[in-house]
């Protein structure tokens, strides 16, 4: 005989689940739309060439985690969390369908004896994620890896430091929830509860089953339902939280690596207007009237709208791992420059611009601020040696140097804000076509006597 109370509770849970699912979908859509809008504030830039090479880069760097394995142990731990995150979400599909349809383990009847093997595989991944997150948390809190500590790097103060630890604790709790949920489920199967189909033991949770032995059926149901709801709500909260966190790179690493630069890292993007003028000055070619008339509204970049959409995607893709800053010679020698901070400041500015747009019907209203000066200091960008160490180190192919160069171009070319030693060099380049003060006719004297002997 069907218990009316059980049916009522099942229907209530279905309605509640659908309401939560709808709310999460709406919040996620709203947030993703805002991120997309702020990225598209950037200037257009064509990154559609050589699609085969781009796909290969994405598969090696984003999916294969190639650059993470430059440090094998950390790479293996990160890969465990990454692959676990992806594959465990396959199980989330079953949980979501169970919630929508008011069922429990909906795939079990269809998969038969393979079902406990599949769940065992997911549990193996869950344990891997659990152990890796514990190790990462210890590295941050006990070992205290230098590049992650706020006392050494001011950009890691406050929320960035808390965010890194919070997500690790969150994932640890979620993995414990799914393992104990399965253990309580197995205990209920042994009691013959009709809502819990017989599946056979699962690989890891069977060893946790003794924790629930001796509990009465009602207590087991309450715990199993609590763990089930806690796990799925945790996943939903994580999905929304992801869009506000540095962990957005889990998603954006794929398009970011696909659209990364394919040219050599040391090649700078010159400004066409300046290149044409320099060529004319050196007599290499003569600019046409049309080329000479093209003058940009602004040289370089003052705010995020002056950067390209790819620069802005880079900012949202930053993992805050600090490998770029750790390799930066300016930072190592005590300068204020931190490539990680450059990316974090760019993202912070984008967040402020996004909130501005939300308040003003999707349009940005000038707030009197700019990326350079209000977020990033001139002292920071002037310390850059353009060595490309930060670009080389980034595990998701972010290019902080491109943003630094554009900001520096604006300060020098639009605002004439350059150190005195630079101005001397610029003057020599203008008058002598060389950084040093000597006659243009003497430019090649250094090569005297170097002619090959007959």
Give dist(CA 316, CA 305) in Å, integer. 15
- Quick one: tokens of 114? 């393979």
90 close to 426: Cβ distance less than 8 angstroms: no
Residue 293: what pLDDT? 47
Q: Which residues of 170-197 are buried (b: 16+ CB within 10 A; e: fewer)?
A: bbbebbbbbbbbbbbbbbbbeeebeebe
What dihedral angle (degrees, nearest 10) is formed by the CA atoms of 86, 93, 120, 230?
90
Which pLDDT belongs to residue 4? 45
Please write the tens of the pLDDT for every residue from 202-231.
Answer: 889 999 988 888 888 889 989 998 998 998
The percentage of residues in the chain with a pLDDT greater than 90, rounded to a whole number, is 45
pLDDT at residue 56, rounded to an integer: 96
Say whether pLDDT at 373 is over 90: yes
Residue 402 predicted with pLDDT over 80: yes
Beta bridge partners of 308: 43
Q: What's the confidence (pLDDT) of residue 289? A: 46
**What pLDDT score does 280 carry?**
74
At which residue do the structure tokens 């999916």 appear?
A: 63
pLDDT band, residue 255 (cuts 50/70/90): very high
- Residue 391 pLDDT > 90: yes
362 CB neighbour count, 10 Å cutoff:
10
Confidence of residue 117 (pLDDT cuts 50, 70, 90): very high
pLDDT of residue 253: 93
Nearest Cα residue to 35 out of 359, 362, 350:
350
Angle between helices 309-317 and 400-409 (to 10 degrees): 130
Q: What is the pLDDT of residues 126-151, one digit of tens each?
A: 999 999 999 999 998 888 888 888 88
The helix/strand/coil state of 125 is: helix
Long-range pairs, 426-429, Cβ under 8 A, ≥24: none
Instruction: Give mean pLDDT, residues 373-383.
Output: 95
Does the pLDDT at position 294 exceed 80? no
Domains of the chain and CATH, by start = 4-34+65-258 (no CATH), 296-432 (1.10.1060)
The H or E element spanning position 226 is: helix 217-242
Nearest to 371 by CA among 342, 399, 401: 342
Task: State the pTM of this model.
Answer: 0.86
Asked if 320 and 433 count as a contact pair (C-beta separation under 8 A), the reply is no
Write out pLDDT tens, residues 150-206.
Answer: 888 889 988 888 888 898 998 899 899 989 999 999 999 988 888 888 888 888 999
Assess whether pLDDT exceeds 60 at residue 291. Answer: no
Tell me the pLDDT band of 282, cut-offs 50, 70 and 90: low
For the chain, give the mean pLDDT.
87
- Segment 86-100 shows an average pLDDT of 82
So what's the pLDDT on residue 287?
A: 53
């Amino acid at each position: 005989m069907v218990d009316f109370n059980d049916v009522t509770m099942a229907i209530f849970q279905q309605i509640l689940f659908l309401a939560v699912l709808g709310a999460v979908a709406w919040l996620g859509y709203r947030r993703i739309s805002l991120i997309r809008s702020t990225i598209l504030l950037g200037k257009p830039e064509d990154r559609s060439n050589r699609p085969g090479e781009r796909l290969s880069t994405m598969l090696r760097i984003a999916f294969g985690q190639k650059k993470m394995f430059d440090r094998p142990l950390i790479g293996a731990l990160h890969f465990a969390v990454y692959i676990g995150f992806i594959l465990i979400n396959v199980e989330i599909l079953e949980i979501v369908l169970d919630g929508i349809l008011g069922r429990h383990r909906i795939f079990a009847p269809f998969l038969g004896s393979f079902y406990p093997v599949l769940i065992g595989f997911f549990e193996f991944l869950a344990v891997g994620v659990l152990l890796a997150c514990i190790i990462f948390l210890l590295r941050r809190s006990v070992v205290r890896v230098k590049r992650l500590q706020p006392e050494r790097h001011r950009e890691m103060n406050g929320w960035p430091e808390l965010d890194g630890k919070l997500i690790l604790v969150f994932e640890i709790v979620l993995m414990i929830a799914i393992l104990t949920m399965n253990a309580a489920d197995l205990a209920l199967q042994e009691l013959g509860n009709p809502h819990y189909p017989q599946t056979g033991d699962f690989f890891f949770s069977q060893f946790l089953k003794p924790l629930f032995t001796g509990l009465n059926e009602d207590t087991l149901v309450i715990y199993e339902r609590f763990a089930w709801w806690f796990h799925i709500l945790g996943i939903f909260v994580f999905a929304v939280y992801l869009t506000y966190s540095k962990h957005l790179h889990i998603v954006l690493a794929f398009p970011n690596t696909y659209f990364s630069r394919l040219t050599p890292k040391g090649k700078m993007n010159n400004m066409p207007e300046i290149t044409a003028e320099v060529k004319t000055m050196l007599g290499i070619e003569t600019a046409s009237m049309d080329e000479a008339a093209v003058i940009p509204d602004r040289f370089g970049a003052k705010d995020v709208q002056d950067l390209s959409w790819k620069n802005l995607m880079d900012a949202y893709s930053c993992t805050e791992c600090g490998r770029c800053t750790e390799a930066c010679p300016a930072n190592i020698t005590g300068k204020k420059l931190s490539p990680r901070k450059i990316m974090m400041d760019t993202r912070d500015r984008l967040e402020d611009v996004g909130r501005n747009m939300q308040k003003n019907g999707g349009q940005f209203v000038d707030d009197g601020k700019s990326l350079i000066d209000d977020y990033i200091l001139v002292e920071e960008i002037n310390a850059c040696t353009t060595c490309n160490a930060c670009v080389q180190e980034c595990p998701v192919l972010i290019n902080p140097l491109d943003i630094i160069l554009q900001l520096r171009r604006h300060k020098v070319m639009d605002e004439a804000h350059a150190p005195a030693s630079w101005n001397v060099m610029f003057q020599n380049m203008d008058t002598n076509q060389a950084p040093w003060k000597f006659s243009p006719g003497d430019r090649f004297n250094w090569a005297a006597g170097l002619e090959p002997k007959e």
